[in-house]
Amino acid sequence: MNKIIYLDNAATTQVSEQVLNEMLPFFRQTYSNPSAVYSFAGEGKKAVDYARRQAAELIGANVEEIYFTGGGSESDNWALKATAEAYSSKGKHIITSKIEHHAILHTCEYLEKQGYEITYLDVDEEGKISLEELRTAIRSDTILISVMAANNEIGTIEPIAEIGRIAHEKGVLFHTDAVQAYGHIPIHVDEMHIDMLSASGHKFNGPKGIGILYIRKGVKIRSFIHGGAQERNRRAGTSNVPGIVGFGKAAEIAGKTMEARTRKEITLRDHLIERVLSEIPYVRLNGHKTDRLPNNVNFCFRFIEGESLLILLDQLGVCASSGSACTSGSLDPSHVLLAIGLPHEIAHGSLRITLSEETTLEDIDFVADELKKIVERLRDMSPLYEDFVKNQP
Amino acid sequence: MYSEKVMGHFNNSRNAGGTENPSGVGTVGNAKCGDIMRIYFDIAEKAEDEEY
């Protein structure tokens, strides 16, 4: 097996050594349940409180506005379902976008079955929602706007500060799914008028199975997981102390390293984009050129299929991902690529490469060199390419 | 994800590519769902007494 070049950091990241070391004592030494009365429990409680502060500081939130959950999907579900329930006397209309993660979209579909009405905002060819369309969509019975901070597939960063301002002008709550953005781009809940925000530990070198929902003080939201009195009575279940400690430490590190780390990632990202666009014909960059996550690259290669690209890259030890159909068991390509206006046959040729702090220039050049060969090889056996060449004047 | 046999063909394609002046060509699949295959026939001699 070749050396692994892991370029699927939007799927998940490696837990950093510092984070792991911070977590380890909470498995065997300080394993107490932080809700207990005896002093042995005190250490765990202190650690949870400290992690909550670390998680809050990264987004300018107050400590008591951070609630630990089982991950990003739970946070999204909680934010939408519980708000829908709590504000149903005001109205049953929710606004979101067509390019949200399935944790939002499938929750919206569930809510539609419960009698809620959902408006799915279109996006432009670069993946951004229109603020004008948002304004027009808001009605007197609109209770919530949920738009992601940055897209997980094409990396486009949404204008969340403007969305938040519009939401607050109209007296509507604003939730943002920041799973891809938290720890990667600057977010400030007050400056961006965010009422609720979802984030997940494993997207920024923290552990899996731990997330947060930021809930602004004063937002009426009922508990979603019922049981004990943990998380200020709003999210039951024994605190995942090692996970919480890991989340906090990862958030602290992400905040401290954000500037230097993302500057490096952007340089490598743009180098890869530049090389592929100039050296491989019939390829397009998906997502916004500059308003995009520092570590995200997403292309569509015409006439070939993303899945075969992934298999050939895998044989070289390169881990990447695609919005192609077969991996998801559906014949339709990614809803995000369709929403930016790509036809099915082009959307099937997508490749997502997501970098990390560890990614090197050598890795990127290796991938660009190999991609050239792989794309050429796959096009050689593609009937679509054959037709295209034949029909060229 | 795929069987060894499928991967074997993918990595070492047999009978792949077109031919000059084929007797017939057939295309199956749909670019919309991402899978498409084209088959070229090249029949050397016409069998004269074959019954259908």
Minimal C-alpha gap between B33 and chain A (Å): 5
Q: Which residue of A has its CA nearest to B30?
A: A345
Residue-wise pLDDT for B1-52, tens only, equals: 789 998 898 888 888 877 788 889 998 888 777 778 888 888 877 666 655 5
**In chain B, which residues have their Cβ closer than 8 Å to the Cβ of A384?**
31, 36
Q: What predicted TM-score, i.e. pTM, was given to this entire model?
A: 0.93
CB B21 within 8 A of CB A389: no
* Contact flag B31-A325 (C-beta cutoff 8 Å): no
Measured between beta carbons, the chain A residues lying within 8 angstroms of B10 are 308, 311
- Please tell me the distance from the alpha carbon of residue A155 to that of residue A293, in angstroms, as a whole number: 5
Inter-chain CB proximity A325 and B11 less than 8 Å:
no
- Residues of chain A found within 8 Å of residue B4, distances taken between Cβ atoms: none
**What pLDDT, on the 0 to 100 scale, is given for residue A375?**
98
Answer yes or no: do B35 and A305 touch at CB < 8 A.
yes
Mean pLDDT, contiguous 10-residue spans, chain A (393 residues): 89 98 96 90 94 98 98 98 96 98 97 98 98 98 98 98 98 98 98 98 98 97 91 94 98 98 98 98 98 98 93 95 66 90 93 97 98 96 90 85
Q: What is the rounded distance in angstroms from the CA atom of residue A304 to the CA atom of residue A280? A: 13
Nearest chain A residue to B36, by CA = A383
Predicted local confidence at residue B17, as pLDDT: 77
Q: Do A384 and B36 touch (CB under 8 A)?
A: yes
CA distance A393 to A386: 14
Size of the A and B interface in Cβ pairs below 8 Å: 38
Residues from chain A that touch B16, judged by Cβ atoms under 8 A, are: 381
Q: What single letter denotes the amino acid at residue A315?
A: Q
Domain coordinates in residue numbering, chain B: 16-44
Task: Give the residue numbers of A marked as catalytic.
Answer: 326
CB pair distance less than 8 Å for B34 and A380:
no
State the pLDDT at residue A110: 98
User: A6 forms bridges with which residues in the sheet?
Assistant: A319
d(CA A213, CA A339): 27
What is the CB neighbour count within 10 angstroms for residue A352?
25
CB contact under 8 A, B34 and A307: yes
**Nearest alpha carbon to residue A203 among A4, A5, A11:** A11
Say if A308 is an interface residue toward chain B (CB within 8 Å). yes
Residue in A closest to B11 by C-alpha:
A312
Q: Quick one: pLDDT at residue A118?
A: 98
